[in-house]
């Protein structure tokens, strides 16, 4: 019995020795395999579909690795000197990435290197945002940069909006106005950032004007999280992190912006591939230009309304700032004004552009008009029952648009229909707006309508006035 046990133990020891030898050989094999392929981590990163999350771009990681190796070297290799397999592999990866990005840049920029200006959120609503975006185009032209055509929607030009720039504006005519500027859609810009192997580097410039702040330039702490979350820059695969330069340019209030032109341009000169820019100034940064022309499909819709109603009176009634209790009386005075005009000219059709909710009872056309009262509703009922009233809702000009949640949301607010209203008001035989007790009678919207009617009245025979105000009492 004891001899059998001794034999078994001897056998177990032999088995254990054999397994130990196998394990040692297996370990040595793996060690030499990985030693001879010491760039495997770089290759994995290079070939991975998951890119590093907000950090150094791939090429920088590889360059840092090479740099640390060269610092320990005692000799500098000439181009013809043979290199180790690991160095060859690393250089191949860098070359491959460079070639890929070269092709991507050629695809989107028709150039070896891309230089974009991305105005991700021009201030104010459409009428003024239109002018502000022109300032950014002028800036891009002076800086020799391509312009990203920021998305639109909800009466704003904003990266978070769902519609392409051409939904509001005529891109072909814009290109003719700026033949030296290269334009790219936000979607194309997004695709460019995602197809790049190396994340495009960025520079952020913010221009502002403060009453008690002298003209100055300040470098500020990057606010990347805010841009990613509130301005949707997370949608783009950019190198936007704490190493990005964030520069604030303060302009002195009360001075002519023309004197700041050189300052703005010089402070925004950068080698970064993407210049992210924003401003909070309510005036054009450079020479004032005519507004960007609206998209052909909106112009056609507005023209069909004008032809259908002509001759017609058009009124802009922004009820938001009027006294609610005065609304019914204001409506009666508008009716009286229209009736008087009809008795003298025979024109009875009234087109009304308003911030009153035309689609839903409690959802105003303006994002700042929050309290709809029974007085506002009564005023609309008076108009409906007293004159030949038309609105963009009653005339169905946007039936051609796709029926989806984005279009529905757009039509519920102050978006594309605001542009349509503006075009219909500009072409009206008579234009009339409310007295101050009834609402906001002077706005940038009505100012734009008056400006355009002033330009047209001499050459368009159907325009009979520039602007009038209906009766206050």
Paired strand residues for 205: 247, 277
Q: What pLDDT score does 91 carry? A: 38
Q: Residue 83, Cβ neighbours under 10 Å: how many?
A: 12
Q: What pLDDT score does 369 carry? A: 59
Q: What pLDDT score does 255 carry? A: 67
CA–CA distance, 299 with 296 (Å, rounded to integer):
5
CATH no. for 116-279: 3.40.50
pTM: 0.78
- Dihedral sign, CA of 376, 380, 381, 386? positive
Q: Where are the beta strands (DSSP E) in 318-420?
A: 349-354, 388-390
CA–CA distance, 101 with 71 (Å, rounded to integer):
28
Q: Is 296-469 CATH 3.40.50? A: yes
Q: What pLDDT score does 88 carry? A: 34
Q: Residue 19, Cβ neighbours under 10 Å: how many?
A: 10
pLDDT in tens, 211-239: 677 889 999 999 999 999 999 999 999 99
Q: Helix or strand or coil: residue 330?
A: helix
Q: What pLDDT score does 23 carry? A: 57
Residue with tokens 């020795």: 17
Residues in the chain with pLDDT < 70? 1-97, 211, 254-256, 360-370
Q: What pLDDT score does 98 carry? A: 74
According to DSSP, the β-strands at 245-252 and 216-219 are antiparallel
Residue 119 near residue 274, CB atoms below 8 Å: no
- Dihedral sign, CA of 359, 363, 368, 370? positive
Considering the chain, tell me which residue range(s) the CATH 3.40.50 domain(s) occupy.
116-279, 296-469
């Amino acid at each position: 019995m004891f001899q059998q046990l001794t034999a078994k133990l001897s056998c177990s020891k032999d088995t254990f020795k054999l397994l130990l030898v196998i394990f040692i050989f297996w370990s040595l094999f793996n060690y030499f395999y990985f030693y001879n392929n010491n760039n495997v981590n770089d290759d994995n990163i290079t070939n991975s579909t998951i890119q590093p999350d907000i950090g150094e771009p791939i090429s920088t990681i590889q360059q840092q690795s090479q740099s640390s190796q060269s610092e320990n070297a005692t000799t500098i290799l000439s181009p013809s000197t043979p290199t180790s397999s690991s160095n060859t592999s690393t250089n191949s990866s860098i070359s491959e990435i460079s070639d890929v990005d070269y092709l991507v840049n050629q695809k989107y920029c028709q150039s070896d290197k891309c230089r974009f200006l991305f105005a991700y959120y021009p201030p104010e609503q459409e009428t003024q945002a239109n002018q502000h975006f022109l300032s950014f185009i002028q800036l891009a032209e002076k800086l020799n940069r391509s312009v990203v055509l920021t998305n639109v929607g909800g009466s704003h030009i904003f990266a978070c909006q769902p519609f392409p720039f051409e939904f509001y504006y005529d891109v072909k005519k814009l290109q003719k106005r700026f033949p030296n500027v290269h334009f790219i859609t936000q979607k194309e810009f997004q695709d460019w950032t995602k197809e790049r192997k190396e994340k495009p580097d960025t520079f952020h410039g913010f221009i502002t004007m403060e009453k008690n702040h002298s003209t100055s330039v300040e470098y500020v702490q990057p606010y990347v999280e805010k841009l990613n979350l509130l301005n949707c820059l997370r949608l783009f695969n950019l190198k936007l992190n704490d190493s990005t330069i964030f520069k604030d340019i303060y302009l002195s209030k009360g001075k002519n912006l023309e004197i700041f032109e050189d300052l703005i341009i010089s402070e925004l000169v950068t080698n970064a591939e993407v210049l992210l820019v924003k401003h909070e100034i309510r005036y054009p940064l450079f020479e004032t230009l005519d507004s960007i022309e609206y998209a052909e499909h909106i112009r056609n819709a507005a023209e069909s309304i004008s032809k259908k109603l002509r001759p017609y009176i058009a009124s802009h009634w922004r009820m938001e700032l009027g006294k609610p209790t005065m609304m019914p009386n204001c409506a009666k005075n508008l009716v009286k004004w229209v009736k008087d005009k009809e008795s003298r000219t025979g024109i009875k059709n009234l087109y009304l552009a308003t911030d009153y909710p035309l689609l839903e009872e409690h959802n105003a056309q303006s994002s700042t008009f929050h309290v709809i009262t029974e007085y506002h509703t009564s005023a609309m009922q008076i108009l409906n029952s007293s004159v030949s009233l038309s609105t963009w809702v009653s005339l169905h000009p946007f039936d051609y648009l796709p029926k989806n949640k984005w279009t529905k949301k757009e039509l519920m607010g102050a978006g594309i229909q605001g542009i349509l209203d503006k075009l219909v008001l500009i072409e009206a035989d008579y234009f009339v707006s409310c007295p101050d007790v009834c609402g906001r009678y002077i706005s940038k919207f009505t100012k734009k309508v008056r400006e355009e009617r002033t330009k047209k009245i001499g050459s368009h025979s159907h325009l009979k006035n520039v602007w009038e105000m209906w009766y206050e009492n």
